[in-house]
Amino acid sequence: MLLQSKNHKWVLVVEDDLDMRESICEILRDHFKKDIKIVEAKDGVDATTKINHQAFHCILTDLNMPKKEGGAFIQSARQNSFNETTPIIIVSGAATHEIEKEYKFVNFLAKPFKAEQLVEMVENQLKLGTTEKMVSANVLNSLVSSTMSFLKGSVASQDVRIGTTSLKQKGTRVDSDFAAVITLKVGKVSNTFSILCDQATLDTIKSNSPGLKNKSGDEICRSMGFVILRHVLSESGMIESNNLSTNDVSGDQNILSDKTGLLIPVIAEGINIHIFATTKQ
């Protein structure tokens, strides 16, 4: 494997049209200067050989190429130990909404494009980092908004707000009466999140929902976890993904003690719920 310098990022450009490949490389070199190192590949087969020997920070690829088309190359990259979470930008005249549904967590730049569009997209991907981080951020944002939407409907209050976020360290127990713990896996990327409730919060929710009158606190908390989970998947655009799996919603918050993550309080009148979302370290 080629060792990477900490002073620059490695970018792979996969394009069978020589003029287009040279144009893309020239635009990137002019903007990023010595901050990036570019490796070129003339087709999908050439690119697959190169990802087997090096981890890249970003990959740009065409779709319609000889020997091995772009879709097959993307599949190879996602199964590659060096590049399974590398951000991928498809640069193609065939970048349509149908393709967007087929390839998850991939960005698109339609040909013809302006130089500033290419630079901005690559710059953003290099800042975001791996797809793993992108998925985690996407899930976390959807989790917060879905929890707030649920509470607004459940407690008939529009005054639902986010409190001060804190970091829970590994080995620290979470302090709550009830928990709905969910592990969501997209491909090889796992996110564990939970809804943490105290008894007073569940009593408030129960009083506003006659159908929950005979339900226990654990049942209400887990049901809430399922409802919020569906919202999260929908908002994250993953509801139809064949590469998605979840475990049953667990009430055992002890499994959270060995995890590091963000504790985000969601507050309303009579409500004090904490969202716990794991972070990768």
The whole-angstrom separation of Cα 71 and Cα 79 is 13
- Is 140 in contact with 133 (CB distance < 8 Å)? no
pLDDT tens sequence for the chain (281 residues): 333 444 578 999 999 999 999 999 999 999 999 899 999 999 999 999 999 878 899 999 998 888 888 888 998 998 887 788 888 999 988 756 566 566 666 888 888 999 999 999 998 888 767 666 666 666 777 778 888 888 887 777 668 888 877 878 888 887 788 888 877 765 566 677 888 888 888 888 888 888 888 888 888 888 888 888 777 766 655 544 444 445 556 667 777 888 887 888 888 887 888 888 875 54
The whole-angstrom separation of Cα 262 and Cα 169 is 9
- Between helix 131-154 and helix 115-128 the angle, nearest 10°, is 80
Which domains does the chain carry? 9-129 (3.40.50.2300), 132-278 (3.40.1550.10)
- Give residue for tokens 């060096």: 82
pTM score: 0.56
The whole-angstrom separation of Cα 260 and Cα 168 is 6
The whole-angstrom separation of Cα 251 and Cα 14 is 47
CA 261 vs. chain centroid, Å, equals 15
Nearest by Cα to 151 from 24, 19, 270, 234: 270
Classified as helix, coil or strand, 176 is coil
> Tokens for 73?
């190359």
